[in-house]
Amino acid sequence: MAKLRDLEESDPILTLQLAREGNAQYPDSPDAPERQWMVAKALTNMGLFDEARVEAEFAVKQYPGTSWTNDLQRHVLSNPP
């Protein structure tokens, strides 16, 4: 998670890869909502808005009520880029 947090803005491709790997390996960990937020944010940073929306919708269903999904709800689903 520390590496993901460090990479977040600087390398969206690697962030996307590592976040997806982390979620595949640890889908029920307490960090999963944050990783899913990173997936959607990385896709947004790459201009892949439709894919980001799909990932944000998944996050809202999978991890309802977290600060991470609330942020995705506000920024990706309610006010898409």
Give the start-to-end residue ranges of the domains of the chain: 2-78
Q: How far is CA 2 from the centre of its chain?
A: 15
Name which of 46, 39, 44, 25 is nearest 68 in CA terms. 39
Q: Which fold has domain 2-78?
A: 1.25.40
Instruction: Note the pLDDT tens digit of each residue in 26-75.
Output: 999 999 999 999 999 999 999 999 999 999 999 999 999 999 999 999 98
Q: How much is the pTM?
A: 0.91
Q: Does residue 20 have a pLDDT over 90?
A: yes
